[in-house]
Structure 1
Amino acid sequence: MNIVAVLVNALKMKCPRCRKGDLFESPTLGFNSDSFKMPDKCPVCGQSYMPEPGFYYGSMFLSYIMTGLFCIVFMALVHWVIGLTLMVSFMILIAILALGSPFIWRMSRSLWLNMMEKYDPDWDK
C-alpha cells in the first residue's frame, strides 16, 4: 500500500478503487445536509461505499486522532511560538474545531475507506 497515494486520494475524497468517483454527493464542503451524504456505491466503478454494517466506526477513531494531533500542534505553535495566552489560544482552537468539524468528519471517512479498500488500476476490465 502506497501511503502517499492513499493520503492524496483521501484528501481528494475520491473512490479508493478507481480514484475517479466522488465519495460525497456534494464535492464542496458546506453546512448543508448534502455535504454529508454519501452514495451507496461509486458512480464510476460501482465500489460499495458501505462494505458492511458499522464500517465507519473506525473512522471515529481516526477523527479523534486527527483532532488530538491538530490540537497539540496548534497549541504548541500558538502558545509557545507566537506567545498568545492560554485563554486566547483555547478560544481560537475551539472556534477552529467548531468550524472545522465537518471537514474532519468527511476526511476521516475518506481516509478510513481509502485505507481499507485497495486501488485497482484494472477495475474496468
Structure 2
Amino acid sequence: MTTLHENCPKCNFKYMMEPSFFFGAMYVNYALAVALFVAIFIIAKVFIGLSILHSFIAIVIVSLILTPVTIRLSRIIWINLFVSYKKDAKELQSEK
C-alpha cells in the first residue's frame, strides 16, 4: 500500500526528489479524509436518516475501507503539484 517505485517504468523519472518528499502528502491525505468524513456523515445522517452513533460507525467503516485509495490519491495529488505530466517524455528522453 505504501510502497512506491523509485523510478517511473516508462520515462525513468525519479519519484523521490528529496528525502521525505511525500511527507507533504500527509496534509493532502488529511484534507481528503476530512472531506470524506463530512460527505459520509451528510449521506448517513441526512439522506439515510441514521443516528449520530450509526453515522460515526459508518464513517469509521468507510474510512478503513478507503484508506489505501486515499493514501495513493494523496501521493498523486502531491507529486502533481510539483511535476507536470509530459505525454511525450519517453520520446524526448530517447532523443537526447
Q: Structure 2 length as normaliser, TM-score?
A: 0.85
Unaligned runs of 5+ in 2: none
Give the structure 1 partner of residue 71 of structure 2.
105
Question: Larger helix proportion, structure 1 or 2?
Answer: 2
Give the structure 2 partner of residue 54 of structure 1.
20
**Conserved 8 A contact 2:44-2:58:** no
Question: How many residue pairs get matched?
Answer: 91
Q: Structure 1 length as normaliser, TM-score?
A: 0.67
State the alpha-carbon separation in 2 of the partners of residues 100 and 122 from structure 1.
33
Overall identity of the aligned pairs, in %: 26
State the alpha-carbon separation in 2 of the partners of residues 54 and 95 from structure 1.
30
Return the index of the structure with the highest Cα Rg. 2
**Conserved 8 A contact 2:28-2:78:** yes
For the residue of structure 2 that corresponds to 1:56, the secondary structure is helix
Query: Deviation above 6 Å: which 4+ runs of structure 1?
Result: none
Unaligned runs of 5+ in 1: 1-34
Of 50, 56, 61, the residue aligned with 1:95 is 61
Instruction: Provide the alpha-carbon RMSD of the alignment.
Output: 1.3
For the residue of structure 1 that corresponds to 2:20, the secondary structure is coil
Give the structure 2 partner of residue 39 of structure 1.
5
